[in-house]
Amino acid sequence: MTAAVTHSGIPAHWPAALAPEALATVSTPTPYLISDLSTVADRYHRFGAALPGVRPYYAMKCNSSPEILRTLADLGAGFEVASLGELKMLQYLGVDPADVLYSNPIKPPAHVAAAHAAGLWRFSFDSPGELNKLAEHAPGSAVYLRLRVDDTDAVFPLSRKFGADEAEAADLLRLARKLGLRPYGVTFHVGSQSSSPPAWRRAVAAAGRVMAEAAGDGITLTMLNIGGGFPARYVDHVPAIGEIGAALALDELLPYRPALLAAEPGRHLVAESGVLVATVLGRETRGGENWLYLDVGAFNGLMETLQTGNRWEYPLWTSRADHAHAASGKFTVTGPSCDSSDTMFYGAALPATIAPGDRVYIGSAGAYTLSYASGFNGFPPPTPVFVGSGARTGEGERIVDAGPS
């Protein structure tokens, strides 16, 4: 099932502030990623309404632009980090490390020590080795267990690299207590861009069983962290956030209600807020295929197209005045570098009239674009540009040429 579209043909979830006619007024050279901070705020509020009582800790790895972080901080979000570098970004913006979760299960010892010294006190783990590391470099800290759960319904499964088996969970919590650490909670991740609300239900049930077994050892956990994986809308239908909230069934599946219910949304909050704008550098026919060359590619921010074997689809639009009614053609869309693997889309439907100099608008591009972007082959990452009421210009709502983040 594909996403609903407006009367103009663009996806219904495309922010109105970033409609093609609005983008035509932006003078920033391409490529640039333009983000609507009002959309970020809207997704944050919708998340809270769908999961009442669950505190979001934004997974900043998917987009760590200061404007995004400030917007979410102002809304009351906590934050989740995977490194000391990410924590330092938050500290620079005035975020208290005490309100941050360090959810990378395997951490550099120096990062643990520095984060602990800064006031961060909650760390994830999934192994005895990590517990010993935490006991040495963050003595007395609160620790929460990363549990391996079923993530087969996600676009990006994560269970191979991280997560303890349910059968070993109680032993690990006992070991944490023995090492002088505070057994604080349990967490899981159903995989990035999960399409299955029951995946959360199954994971909550597993966490509930761990909580019950730990309680038999006198360990009462303070936090249940339901992780990330909440989907954003691209081209295909995804479950609404309300469907996921309804599937949790916390009171049914947990032996008791922890004091803190947490989540780590990332993509869900920011993906739909961004449009990546590129210029067509060339159009050629090779082996019977129509090839379109853009000034942005996989190595400049569209890496997820390669990670999925070119199955990842973004909603596409163009600057052509005849876009909505021109005959459509199928295009292989590639990037500017000399690497042939720098190709993002096969069979992309675009106006048959598209030509060099036209612009291509790539929707739902607010997540894992700037954070993945490099300057490979000397082609620069997209310039971040912001619109929306959260943009702190002091002179209105638009920020242009915000510079590298």
| Closest by Cα among 106, 114, 113, 119 to 136 | 113
CB 298 within 8 A of CB 30: no
12 CB-near residues (< 8 Å, 6+ apart)? 3, 4, 5, 6
Output DSSP code: residue 203.
H
> What CA–CA distance (Å, rounded) separates 246 from 51?
8
Catalytic residue selected from 27, 285, 338, 394: 338
Instruction: Determine the Cα–Cα distance for residues 390 and 202; give it in Å rounded to an integer.
Output: 37
- Whether 182 and 172 have beta carbons less than 8 Å apart is answered as no
- Establish whether 62 is a catalytic residue: no
List the structure tokens of 372: 């993945």
- 31 upstream amide cis, omega within 30 of 0: yes
* Distance from C-alpha of 43 to C-alpha of 242, rounded to nearest angstrom: 12
Longest dimension (CA), the chain: 70
Reading the block at residue 214, the tokens are: 């730990």
Which residues neighbour 336 within 8 Å (Cβ) at sequence distance 6 or greater? 281, 293, 294, 295, 296, 297, 300, 342, 377, 379
Angle, CA of 18, 312 and 203, to the nearest 5°: 100
Other C-beta atoms closer than 10 Å to the C-beta of 115 total: 26
In the numeric block, which tokens belong to residue 343?
A: 């190709």
- The set of catalytic residues is 338
